[in-house]
Structure 1
């Protein structure tokens, strides 16, 4: 039986234990902070990035991995005849999956490398990676795995609370809309990514809006009790540990259903640079 391997990018939210357990290859994105370039997860950690971002003169820039790095990765993974499933950050956020397609063409491995635009990022991208990894461990074939990942992708939800709009306005991710929203005092926004498109779902003022956001998310998870088995809470913080309000959010999810696996971790530079300080996202799927 042909061996199947997995590759993804460093915007994904996976624990070191998950990466090691399933032998997942993570291709790092590049980060530029005040004219200095870093390799995500190699010479800068997620927390180090946030601290440097806070002191940076300009908004940091993240970019897709060099195509040469992707080519090298593909050659290495397919050298023994293995099939490779590549799951990457949504193309609305990064050109990584497009670069991966070019790398496949350059290496002539279209019959061996199967690429997926996750249409999302962070732990939701991680859910797709873990779905594929678990299916490989069960001995499933490529077609069956790809179909299962697509099924998970269709049911995934990303709900992100942006507390400070400065970075997202500077980054231009939401175009002129974000600038108009930012002109209002103490405005916060909820972002979602339906069908791979980043949108402003709701907007409001202050902590009251954030509390309402939390309650909406909890109500949706409760409404899908028994169908939600995993939840990711990813955040941007200057603190060395997870914010207490997010640990409390985790506890409330577990009160709804104690069987839900909730992971609370810092998000990647690719997300943090646009989301800004104190932003957080809740990511889950139904099955």
Structure 2
């Protein structure tokens, strides 16, 4: 039985320790800020990106890895006869999965299996980590894919956007809706589900934020949650406090609180945050 290696893209929310421990290959996206390009996670880190986004005249742009970059990685990783399981961010936010699929067709379609996670950030990480652990436990590709499917079905990703400007500029919300929301100082609760980004709540001021947090904490308290991710843009202290609240409810629950990826930060803007978790049946 050939070895299976795990590949993902840099929209993933993984610690350096997780990447090293599970031998995960991360293919980076490119970020362009005021005409200058950076390789995500290679020559710009997340905190630096946020600072540059604050100072930039235009909305930063992120670009999927080119087909040739994926092909080069795939050729290197399959040279020893290994199979690849490639888990990418949702197609609704990026063409990354299409680049990966085209590269797989070029290199070795029988050995390279590309999956749209339908998520991003820590929600993507849950699938990547469970896949890596399944492979390490000696599971077959089919068994690993079944585990990934189950994690995907049991994942919740909701976020609060406190300033809708970036979503409007990026074309993620209708311009008319956006203008009204900006005029009224509306904060929005968004959900990523089945590759779609939908508004599931909205309101003025901090009331909607408090309601969102209380709702998520209640879900975490009452459901069989296996892991939690808190991803944010430039509000570390508040999110550290939120992590403490979760640990008060469930002291042993793994929680990763971290600055989000440039792909997410570009669209959500400053002050946004997500509470992401997945459950066991």
TM-score normalised by the chain length of structure 1: 0.95
1:88·1:96 contact (CA, 8 Å) conserved in 2? yes
Q: What is aligned with 1:245? A: 238
Q: 1:91 to 1:178 in 2, by over 3 A?
A: farther
- What's the CA shift string for 1:99-126, capped at 9, x where partnerless? 111111111x111111110101000000
Are residue 142 (structure 1) and residue 141 (structure 2) matched? yes
- In the alignment, the residues of structure 2 paired with residue 140 and residue 7 of structure 1 have an alpha-carbon distance, to the nearest angstrom, of 17
Give, in angstroms, the shift of residue 253 of structure 1: 1.2
Give, in angstroms, the shift of residue 82 of structure 1: 0.2
Are residue 73 (structure 1) and residue 73 (structure 2) matched? yes
2:92·2:195 contact (CA, 8 Å) conserved in 1? yes
**Number of aligned pairs?**
280
- What's the CA shift string for 1:157-211, capped at 9, x where partnerless? 1010101111111111123364144243221001101211000111111112111
Q: What is aligned with 1:162? A: 161
Farther off after superposition, 76-85 or 180-189: 180-189
Are residue 130 (structure 1) and residue 129 (structure 2) matched? yes
Q: What is aligned with 2:250? A: 257
- In the alignment, the residues of structure 1 paired with residue 61 and residue 230 of structure 2 have an alpha-carbon distance, to the nearest angstrom, of 23
RMSD (Å), alpha carbons = 1.1
Q: What is aligned with 1:209? A: 208
Q: What is aligned with 2:119? A: 120
Structure 1 counterpart of 2:232, from 232, 235, 238 = 235
- In the alignment, the residues of structure 2 paired with residue 86 and residue 175 of structure 1 have an alpha-carbon distance, to the nearest angstrom, of 32
TM-score normalised by the chain length of structure 2: 0.97
Farther off after superposition, 182-191 or 144-153: 182-191
Q: Mind listing any 5+ residue stretches in structure 1 that lack a counterpart?
A: none
- What's the CA shift string for 1:198-254, capped at 9, x where partnerless? 001111111121111100111111120xx20210000110xxxx6222112111111
